Amino acid sequence: MSDFYVTTPIYYVNARPHLGHAYSTLVADALVRFHRMQGENAFFVTGSDEHGDKIMRSAEKNGQTPREFVDAISGEFRRLWPELGIDNYRFARTTDDDHVRFVQKILQRVYDAGDIYFAEFSGHYCYGCERFYTEKELENGLCPQHLAKPEFISEKNYFFRMSKYLPWIKSHIEEHPDFIRPERYRSEVLAMLDAGVLEDLCISRPKSRLTWGIELPFDTDYVCYVWFDALLTYLSALGPLNCEDFKRCWPGEHLVAKDILKPHAVFWPAILKAAGLPVYTHLNVHGYWLSRNTKMSKSLGNVVDPLEMVKKYAIDPFRYFLFREMHFGSDASFSEEALVGRINADLANDLGNLFSRVLSMTAKYFSSHVPQPCKRHEADDAIVELCASSMRNFTQLFGKIQFAQALECLWVLVRALNKYVDSQAPWALYKQGNMERLATVMYILLAAMRKVALCLWPVMPVTSCRMLDQLGQTADVKTPPVPQINDEIASFEGLYAGTEVAAQSNLFPRVETEGASEVKKAKPKEQKAVKPDRKQVAPRAEKNDEGTPADVLPEIDFEAFKTVDMRVGTIIEASKHPDADRILVFRIDFGEGAPRQILSGLAEYYTPAELVGRQVCAVLNLKPRKIRGLVSNGMVLTALQDDKLTLIGPCTEMPNGSSIA
């Protein structure tokens, strides 16, 4: 079996690492852990991109030689990763000798194949991007990234025949729907290819202008363009072409933010193809972390330092927040308020409280030993079933890089376990002397908590180990065997009666909200649904009780249509209506803070478990309706064909609360 291999961008060392760099690298770490839980060998490559104008200028500004400068900042990146609990990676530098030789070898190969040529060229050069822009690519004469006027330069340079590979790239993207994901970035690249603005790529810089780069093997008066050099780190970090690691790991996949979509989606596949190498499997593209609702920048003073956050809130709560808050592909806003909110609600109240109450009850009723369960009741079976479906959903969504939704599915289980404690009331069973029933309830809780702890390993490795340790399990994450998630889904058992567990637990102390620093004052961007005033809502043709359309719908004008508040949301809980066979009861997250309860006549067509994690479209400003004792605060949209109702959702994943028009 081939290894799972993923890369982060090779970060520029012109600035110190911040939250955005930390996020990409944490995602790589979590994906590697997740794949190891599936029995695969897995690791990732990260590193520092050290050549080029930008670095040279930053070094000059700092009064250092480029070498002194890159050594210092590269060291900061390198030292950061272990502080964030990141493991199983190689750190590569583009100034490493092996890398330099590798790049020269590929340049020579592409040159020999006739795909690099020498030509006189005049163009608009942006120093920020370190590249030429064509007239068509400029926006109002400015570089679209830096909004600065590029310098017009005329010089002789080497060019890579990228245009030759564009038709192939287009058909590859069309034939492989998940080559670039999420979908919105795939569409963006296809549109870019269709726009016809891409030409051959200038891949050299004359030494008269820049010396800080890799010398071209076929012309010592030139150095290599920094992107051609940096992208090749993804291969050079594996060793020479066709070495054992290369064969096991390549083709691998990449992780980038949307800022560097084009070099990864266009330049890189073309370079690989020209060098006769297989193209990567997936390009996973995430959005930006915003701070105070704008992109982080030194001049705005809104840069979030991940180390500061970890010192203040510990590694795992910080990691949890990042994975739970950002819907992969969309932008997300960072604020300490939102971080503290998640710590107190999801971690302290839900998860921490579960561990604390169950372990202290086990200490009291069974001297901190896992009891032998007896006959299961219906409520116990429901938890066992929910445990399997939550883990299955978690695994599927995590594998599809939908981390926020995966965690939400796991929290459906965590919250259900807390409710199960309340409904089964172990303290009352103890009082009644019903030790058989008490043993079963406590066993179900402890065994399900073990499953939650296992699932959390990719996101919160330290806490996952602490939880497993408290449950009497071997919990050294660095020593194989790593928990095998698929086996764990298949069987609820796995926790043995008689195992000694901790007498108490305090995993996530609540954070007091006072005293957070400046950055926290940023309002969380949250994809909030702004609800229109209910009074303005005009009546609209409703669906009947079964959710089927009424026969004749009156025509409405656009103004009336605009009063219907339709939004995208994610189903986070689904269950059968206790009193109506055809109705499912959903709790749906529309980004409003608390999820909404909506009822729908879908029980004949879907099981509750298969809908958890699904995105749906719904009308929110429909008058609340009571259906057999339960209130529905809105209506999910469905389509009817051949007497079958099908849920309607967005084609690509959208932030919860996105409005539908």
| Complex with ligand ME8: residue 181 or 596, whichever CB lies closer | 181
Q: Does 289 participate in binding ligand ME8 (rule CB under 6 A)?
A: yes
| Complex with ligand ME8: residue 12 or 457, whichever CB lies closer | 12
The whole-angstrom separation of Cα 289 and Cα 298 is 14
* Single residue of 4, 23, 160, 403 touching ligand ME8 by CB under 6 A: 23
Do residues 51 and 204 touch, judged by C-beta distance below 8 A?
no
Site for ligand ME8 in 44-83 (CB under 6 A): 49
* Single residue of 183, 200, 259, 436 touching ligand ME8 by CB under 6 A: 259
DSSP code of residue 279:
P
The whole-angstrom separation of Cα 403 and Cα 613 is 11
DSSP code of residue 583:
-
Nearest of 601, 604, 564, 605 to residue 586 by alpha carbon: 601
| Complex with ligand ME8: residue 45 or 588, whichever CB lies closer | 45
Q: Does 10 participate in binding ligand ME8 (rule CB under 6 A)?
A: yes
DSSP code of residue 548:
P
How far apart, in Å, are the Cα atoms of 642 and each of 192, 548, 645, 647? 40, 12, 8, 14
Do residues 600 and 555 touch, judged by C-beta distance below 8 A?
no
Q: Helices 353-366 & 403-424, crossing angle to 10 degrees?
A: 40
Q: Does 12 participate in binding ligand ME8 (rule CB under 6 A)?
A: yes
Stretch that binds ligand ME8, among 3-11, 502-510, 551-559, 623-631 (CB under 6 A): 3-11
Q: Does 225 participate in binding ligand ME8 (rule CB under 6 A)?
A: no
| Complex with ligand ME8: residue 9 or 649, whichever CB lies closer | 9
Q: Which two tokens stand for residue 353?
A: 């409280």
Nearest of 430, 509, 417 to residue 463 by alpha carbon: 509
| Complex with ligand ME8: residue 6 or 412, whichever CB lies closer | 6
* Single residue of 4, 11, 158, 250 touching ligand ME8 by CB under 6 A: 11
Catalytic (active-site) positions: 18, 21, 126, 129, 143, 146, 295, 298
* Single residue of 256, 343, 612, 654 touching ligand ME8 by CB under 6 A: 256
| Closest residue to ligand ME8 in the complex (CB) | 20
Q: Does 616 participate in binding ligand ME8 (rule CB under 6 A)?
A: no
* Single residue of 81, 212, 288, 365 touching ligand ME8 by CB under 6 A: 288
Do residues 546 and 633 touch, judged by C-beta distance below 8 A?
no
Q: Does 212 participate in binding ligand ME8 (rule CB under 6 A)?
A: no
Exposure pattern of 359-383 as b/e (b: 16+ CB <10 Å)? Answer: bebbeebbebbbbebeebeeebeeb
* Single residue of 55, 192, 279, 296 touching ligand ME8 by CB under 6 A: 296
Stretch that binds ligand ME8, among 256-264, 415-423, 467-475, 573-581 (CB under 6 A): 256-264
Stretch that binds ligand ME8, among 257-265, 376-384, 413-421, 595-603 (CB under 6 A): 257-265
CB of 145 to ligand ME8, least distance (A): 10
Q: Which two tokens stand for residue 396?
A: 């599927």
Distance between start and end Cα atoms, the chain: 47
Helices (H), 400-460: 403-424, 426-432, 435-455
The whole-angstrom separation of Cα 602 and Cα 375 is 33
- Residue 3 sits at φ, ψ, to 5 deg, of -80, 155
The whole-angstrom separation of Cα 374 and Cα 358 is 18
Cα 292 off chain centre by: 21
The whole-angstrom separation of Cα 486 and Cα 483 is 9
Q: Assign 3-class secondary structure to 458-476.
A: CCCHHHHHHHHHHCCCCCC
CB of 388 to ligand ME8, least distance (A): 34
Stretch that binds ligand ME8, among 157-165, 288-296, 388-396, 526-534 (CB under 6 A): 288-296
Q: Does 653 participate in binding ligand ME8 (rule CB under 6 A)?
A: no
Q: Does 262 participate in binding ligand ME8 (rule CB under 6 A)?
A: no
Question: What is the number of H-type helices and E-type strands within the chain?
Answer: 23, 25
* Single residue of 138, 142, 190, 260 touching ligand ME8 by CB under 6 A: 260
| Complex with ligand ME8: residue 33 or 54, whichever CB lies closer | 54
Q: Does 20 participate in binding ligand ME8 (rule CB under 6 A)?
A: yes
* Interacting residue ranges for ligand ME8, rule: CB under 6 A: 9-12, 20-21, 23-24, 49, 230-231, 256-257, 259-260, 288-289, 295-296
